[in-house]
Chains A and B, each alone.
Chain A
């Protein structure tokens, strides 16, 4: 029965004065956050947004993005969060792909929003946060801050049900074009309840999130904290670790979600200046937590339970290792999350036993509804389950489990890279490289990197000998999110090919890194 709006509304009724959100200097209680989201919902409805319509939110972590997410949910519409470092062309793709009616963004992207409104397309309006003082430049660009502070108030009508879509979470696919994972309210409610249960999270918890809300791991920190009545300390990024660490002490943070890149940065710091004693749990997902990092984190956070986890957007979270097994089962990501099951099968679809490698398949209420308007991709990933009308998810990831049922990640079946915990499709970066007429051929590879997980390397055959690495990187930065931009560019005379002319990726020998 629960919808995402209920997470917020229930606690706004129960504990209106309790601190819900800390962003920099701003501190919002549950009732205040709820009221802001109500006003955003009314403004969206005034602009023609109806039940099931999509609204794209393009901005950095902050109170505006949070009020925007819940505002869309309260309008019974579907929120789609775009990474703040996404470029205008990428956001334009999302807007068109999901046929978004409204774009909510920040002053930094206002000119891009205006251009998207000018071009023929689905958008009818945009709301701009942080444009105070700029005046009414363009009637179609609404003033988000004025709306959130002074717009029409009161609970918007409740005309959706829990089978409706709550959000689309776009994820990179091997074809290079991101696909929107359709997440219905009941699936989000199931996944968040299961995760809250194993983390043992409650109203007393204070979670610090430096992960972008465009990333489902970041988004669920918000949803789960609001659902449990706790407090979210939302950081814009982990760019200034010292600031985040000071905030841990100042706000008595109890929960710290991260990805291996964040832990690697943290472990490289002198932590003696910071009081980290309040932290009682750490979570890791998106890429494997190296066992020696787990050990060192345990020394730094002696009171903390450390959860090694695995998941994919298509099922939100899939496996977690109960912390008491961290030391005895290094490298394992444990068991299915509560209320779900998984199995490992071979290419013939037969279930495998212990110590055999096969594809992980997932069943449960957290299996999402498929990809937005992509029936073929959906059919590949989501397969009919044991009961009529049910779907299970093929993860595309190879796993094995031991006799005691502990699961171990073995590898990916596709060529997707993980950089800073985010998925990068080599094809997407290659497509961008091929836009340069001075590039004859380009291949994108990953190489192991102690901080990034995998560093992105572009291997380029030049058509114009004058092309330099800076020009290649400049082009990538203009077209791609930060985490998709190659760490280095290597120029080669030719690429190894098969007899049919296909590039042999595995045969490319990378020159050593220059330091």
Chain B
């Protein structure tokens, strides 16, 4: 079973390796804006969504792809939590 801590680790590792192309730890705080810090750009958001769908087995609707749900590690984790919860897992 995947715990919240596992998800956080997976997500931060993805952000670091995919967007910063770094082998180091993701350098930003969990509440940092991914757009504001220049971590993701417009095509990056699509990659992020694909990652979340594949990694956590979610279906993210187009209208759910908003900064409210996706613009920081904390927001993504809360969003993923809500999606998995509402899917009855």
Residues of A within 8 A of B (CB): 84-85, 108, 236-243, 245-246, 261, 265, 269-271, 273-274, 420, 451-452, 470-471, 473-474, 477, 482
Rounded to whole Å, the gap between the CB of A241 and the closest CB of chain B is 7
From A238, A241, A470, contact of B62 by CB (8 A):
A241
User: A241 touching B35 by the CB < 8 A rule?
Assistant: no
- Tell me, in angstroms, the Cα distance from A482 to B45 when the chains sit together: 13
> Which residues of chain A are within 8 angstroms of B43 by Cβ–Cβ distance?
451-452
- Chain B CB count within 10 A is highest, among A242, A265, A471, for A242
- Tell me, in angstroms, the Cα distance from A474 to B20 when the chains sit together: 7
> Which residues of chain B are within 8 angstroms of A245 by Cβ–Cβ distance?
63
User: B21 touching A470 by the CB < 8 A rule?
Assistant: yes
Nearest CB in chain B to that of A483: its residue: B41
Nearest CB in chain B to that of A245: its residue: B63
Query: Which 8 A-B residue pairings sit nearest by Cβ, starting from the closest?
Result: A474-B21, A239-B42, A273-B63, A269-B62, A482-B41, A270-B62, A239-B45, A470-B21
Nearest CB in chain A to that of B42: its residue: A239
Chain B facing A: main interface SS: loop
> Which residues of chain A are within 8 angstroms of B65 by Cβ–Cβ distance?
240-242
- CB-CB contacts of B55-79 with A at 8 A, as 1s and 0s? 0000001111111001100000000
> Which residues of chain A are within 8 angstroms of B42 by Cβ–Cβ distance?
237-239, 261, 265, 420
* B85 contacts partner chain A, Cβ-Cβ < 8 Å: no
- Tell me, in angstroms, the Cα distance from A236 to B45 when the chains sit together: 14
- Tell me, in angstroms, the Cα distance from A85 to B36 when the chains sit together: 10
User: B62 touching A242 by the CB < 8 A rule?
Assistant: yes
> Known: A241-B62, A242-B64, A273-B62. Contact between A473 and B21, CB under 8 A?
yes
- Tell me, in angstroms, the Cα distance from A271 to B62 when the chains sit together: 8
Nearest CB in chain A to that of B21: its residue: A474
Rounded to whole Å, the gap between the CB of A357 and the closest CB of chain B is 34
- Tell me, in angstroms, the Cα distance from A240 to B65 when the chains sit together: 6
> Known: A236-B35, A473-B21, A474-B21. Contact between A274 and B41, CB under 8 A?
no
* B80 contacts partner chain A, Cβ-Cβ < 8 Å: no
> Which residues of chain A are within 8 angstroms of B35 by Cβ–Cβ distance?
236-237, 239
- Tell me, in angstroms, the Cα distance from A205 to B66 when the chains sit together: 26
- Tell me, in angstroms, the Cα distance from A274 to B70 when the chains sit together: 19
* B10 contacts partner chain A, Cβ-Cβ < 8 Å: no
* B40 contacts partner chain A, Cβ-Cβ < 8 Å: yes
7 A-B contacts (beta carbon < 8 Å): A108-B36, A239-B44, A240-B67, A243-B67, A271-B62, A274-B63, A470-B17
Rounded to whole Å, the gap between the CB of A110 and the closest CB of chain B is 14
* B38 contacts partner chain A, Cβ-Cβ < 8 Å: yes
Besides A269-B62, A477-B20, 8 other CB < 8 A contacts?
Answer: A239-B42, A240-B65, A240-B71, A241-B65, A246-B66, A261-B42, A270-B63, A452-B43
* B6 contacts partner chain A, Cβ-Cβ < 8 Å: no
- Tell me, in angstroms, the Cα distance from A242 to B63 when the chains sit together: 5
> Which residues of chain B are within 8 angstroms of A477 by Cβ–Cβ distance?
20-21
- Tell me, in angstroms, the Cα distance from A471 to B66 when the chains sit together: 31
> Which residues of chain A are within 8 angstroms of B40 by Cβ–Cβ distance?
239
> Which residues of chain B are within 8 angstroms of A271 by Cβ–Cβ distance?
62
Residues of B within 8 A of A (CB): 17, 20-22, 35-38, 40-46, 61-67, 70-71
Rounded to whole Å, the gap between the CB of B58 and the closest CB of chain A is 16
> Which residues of chain A are within 8 angstroms of B66 by Cβ–Cβ distance?
240, 242-243, 246
- Tell me, in angstroms, the Cα distance from A246 to B65 when the chains sit together: 11
User: A240 touching B70 by the CB < 8 A rule?
Assistant: yes
- Tell me, in angstroms, the Cα distance from A239 to B67 when the chains sit together: 9
> Which residues of chain B are within 8 angstroms of A420 by Cβ–Cβ distance?
42
- Tell me, in angstroms, the Cα distance from A471 to B23 when the chains sit together: 10
Nearest CB in chain A to that of B64: its residue: A242
Nearest CB in chain A to that of B38: its residue: A85
Rounded to whole Å, the gap between the CB of A487 and the closest CB of chain B is 9
> Which residues of chain A are within 8 angstroms of B17 by Cβ–Cβ distance?
470
> Which residues of chain B are within 8 angstroms of A85 by Cβ–Cβ distance?
38, 41
> Which residues of chain B are within 8 angstroms of A236 by Cβ–Cβ distance?
35
- Tell me, in angstroms, the Cα distance from A501 to B88 when the chains sit together: 65
- Tell me, in angstroms, the Cα distance from A253 to B66 when the chains sit together: 19
> Known: A85-B38, A470-B21, A474-B22. Contact between A240 and B62, CB under 8 A?
no
- Tell me, in angstroms, the Cα distance from A273 to B36 when the chains sit together: 27
- Tell me, in angstroms, the Cα distance from A473 to B21 when the chains sit together: 7
From A108, A240, A269, A452, contact of B45 by CB (8 A):
A240
- Tell me, in angstroms, the Cα distance from A482 to B61 when the chains sit together: 26
Nearest CB in chain B to that of A476: its residue: B21
- Tell me, in angstroms, the Cα distance from A253 to B72 when the chains sit together: 28
> Which residues of chain B are within 8 angstroms of A238 by Cβ–Cβ distance?
42
Rounded to whole Å, the gap between the CB of B41 and the closest CB of chain A is 5
- Tell me, in angstroms, the Cα distance from A241 to B60 when the chains sit together: 14
Nearest CB in chain B to that of A451: its residue: B43
Nearest CB in chain A to that of B23: its residue: A470
Nearest CB in chain B to that of A469: its residue: B21
> Which residues of chain A are within 8 angstroms of B70 by Cβ–Cβ distance?
240
